[in-house]
Structure 1
């Protein structure tokens, strides 16, 4: 079968090649891949800047945003032939920490987790793969290829879950939110905010292309100004860019008793002069919470699946801005100005 593989750490090593069929030891459920989404992590892995091959192997099958159809499933697995599923990315460490032991591998404390298509386990960018039933999430077939959005949606479902859990410290509930960055994560964060009845604002740099219209059609407001102009006084900020200046400004403009959720990973290597003592004073006196979030567990995947099923399907369609056939897979990793979510089509 065909698969997209790379040699982690080696730039330009990506290729489409024939690999053996997945062994039954990899999982009792056999899945035919329908589509794989592409994100910045995939680009970083293919460029040689990230990723780990499975132990004893030189190459890694990439792909962590998946959509597939069940070909084989054992009795009692909760899955049937023909079900459409998305594979969960992260696996708990072999000797689980307290979080991994209860299925919260997204909160792993010792870092010995593994991740399909990223860290030490082959991913989903092969024509077929095997998976354990507990790591396969059924999606409504009415979603069609839009189901490939479930993995990124699970990340923001976790973000909102954490916001709500932390927000339970007070009887006051947020009414407004600013999302910085209108990529797939930012747009899906805005979707889940609107579904919660919040007044949502989205900040990005572009003034043309699909992003402004996507935000407006969601019922949110689009801004191409600054954090201070777009978000002054909002109750919640979900920061999806990892840009230092935006992070700092978000901490300053959020309302008293507000929450700042950091969901964007910074590249590092850049410094920013800040008044740490002044920022500390504001945060202490205003009960501000700033926290980071990454990855998701099964509960978040299931919540995201419900959110996508409720969403306007035409709006979700517009997030899938390019559909690239498998034999031209590399084109999906070359970013274009109008891109939101490129998808590699296997079927």
Structure 2
């Protein structure tokens, strides 16, 4: 079967390779892949920045944003049936207290494995096997947008943790600012809109008729192009900003992220800022403002199964509230036989997916 593979830690090693079709064990399901999303993680693995092959192998099948259908079951596999549309979770925990409690995203040791990233093959292949406990059954009406479920889980986790943190006090949030209009940033903005908030989305581009512009307009998000106007101007319109989300991957925005946060607010950091950026940021002032304004900073990475389950429910709510807005996220579809290295290295549009 065809699979998209790399040699981890070797730059520009991505290629399509024929590998053996997997056979399900007695407690596993065999899933035929329908489509897989391409994301920045896949690009970074191909750049040799990180990645780890399965034990005993030199190559790694990448891809962790999956959608497929169950086509066979082992004799003892329970929880799904042949014909079910499914999305698979990504991380497999170890035996730390958090992982054993189902919170592999909060692993204490770092000895977890992740499909398509660390120690386990991913989903960019014609078939894969998995235990039913790691599969999320998808309703037929969400088949087209279900490939977005994995990035959706990061947004789900961010929003849930922000509101959980704010149980520390009486809190009625009204205004949120999201830096970054990639898939995770926009999905977070949509979830905050679902909670009835006024939401600003900040990036460095105008969006007239492109997918991002259509999504922003359809959902009722307020767009700010930071090349044309300072995000700090938001404070003049809405003096109290309750939630600030960073989802750009750029360290340059961090000073504004911290400065925009209001009294008793939460700052959620969703991206790993790459590269180097030297800024004479006044850390004493940052500390002063954090303490006197009761602010909280929380980092968010990965998501456990509960966020996948919540994501399916929220996808249905989004569809009910905003129609087929999630389908607009998929801006390029690539047949597996037509995939090129450039499709991974230089992704254009909002979300590219590989169709198997």
Question: Is 192-201 or 31-40 further displaced after alignment?
Answer: 192-201
Question: Is 297-306 or 248-257 further displaced after alignment?
Answer: 248-257
> Closer, same or farther in 2 for the Cα pair 1:196/1:56, shift >3 Å?
same
Deviations 1:3-54 (A, max 9, x none): 1111011122111111112143496111000000011000111222221111
Aligned to 1:164: 163
Helix, strand or coil for the counterpart of 1:168?
helix
Query: Is the 2:12–2:47 contact (alpha carbons within 8 Å) kept by the matching residues of 1?
Result: yes
Which of 237, 240, 246 lines up with 1:239 in the alignment? 246
Residue 325 of structure 2 corresponds to residue 325 of structure 1:
no
Which of 291, 303, 312 lines up with 1:305 in the alignment? 312
Aligned to 1:79: 80
Aligned to 2:261: 254
For the residues of structure 1 that align with 2:296 and 2:76, how far apart are their CA atoms? Answer: 46
Deviations 1:217-256 (A, max 9, x none): 1111111023312466310011101322322221122110
Please provide the CA RMSD for this pair.
1.6
For the residues of structure 1 that align with 2:99 and 2:153, how far apart are their CA atoms? Answer: 17
Query: Is the 1:27–1:130 contact (alpha carbons within 8 Å) kept by the matching residues of 2?
Result: no
Aligned to 1:5: 5
Query: Is the 2:189–2:201 contact (alpha carbons within 8 Å) kept by the matching residues of 1?
Result: yes
Q: What are structure 1's unaligned runs of at least 5 residues? A: none
Which of 332, 335, 346 lines up with 2:346 in the alignment? 335
Aligned to 2:217: 216
Deviations 1:84-119 (A, max 9, x none): 1101000002xx111111010001111111100000
Q: What are structure 2's unaligned runs of at least 5 residues? A: none
Q: CA deviation at 1:334?
A: 4.2
Query: Is the 2:4–2:14 contact (alpha carbons within 8 Å) kept by the matching residues of 1?
Result: yes
> Closer, same or farther in 2 for the Cα pair 1:288/1:26, shift >3 Å?
farther
Query: Is the 1:3–1:17 contact (alpha carbons within 8 Å) kept by the matching residues of 2?
Result: yes
Query: Is the 1:159–1:293 contact (alpha carbons within 8 Å) kept by the matching residues of 2?
Result: yes
Aligned to 1:127: 126
For the residues of structure 2 that align with 1:233 and 1:56, how far apart are their CA atoms? Answer: 55
For the residues of structure 2 that align with 1:42 and 1:133, how far apart are their CA atoms? Answer: 25
For the residues of structure 2 that align with 1:211 and 1:118, how far apart are their CA atoms? Answer: 28
Query: Is the 1:332–1:344 contact (alpha carbons within 8 Å) kept by the matching residues of 2?
Result: no
Q: What are the residue-to-residue correspondences of 1:124-203 with 2, within 5 Å?
A: 124-203=123-202
For the residues of structure 2 that align with 1:76 and 1:89, how far apart are their CA atoms? Answer: 19
Q: CA deviation at 1:55?
A: 1.5
Q: CA deviation at 1:76?
A: 6.5
Q: CA deviation at 1:212?
A: 2.7
Query: Is the 2:51–2:117 contact (alpha carbons within 8 Å) kept by the matching residues of 1?
Result: yes
Helix, strand or coil for the counterpart of 2:110?
coil
For the residues of structure 1 that align with 2:78 and 2:26, how far apart are their CA atoms? Answer: 15
For the residues of structure 2 that align with 1:101 and 1:345, how far apart are their CA atoms? Answer: 35
Which of 225, 231, 237 lines up with 1:227 in the alignment? 231
Query: Is the 2:178–2:200 contact (alpha carbons within 8 Å) kept by the matching residues of 1?
Result: yes
Aligned to 2:22: 22
Question: Is 144-153 or 309-318 further displaced after alignment?
Answer: 309-318
Deviations 1:289-310 (A, max 9, x none): 0110000001100111111122
Deviations 1:180-229 (A, max 9, x none): 10000011001111111111110011103332332121111111023312
For the residues of structure 1 that align with 2:260 and 2:14, how far apart are their CA atoms? Answer: 43
Deviations 1:250-276 (A, max 9, x none): 112211000000001111433321111
Helix, strand or coil for the counterpart of 1:321?
strand
Aligned residue pairs: how many?
A: 343
Deviations 1:55-87 (A, max 9, x none): 211000011000000112356722111111101
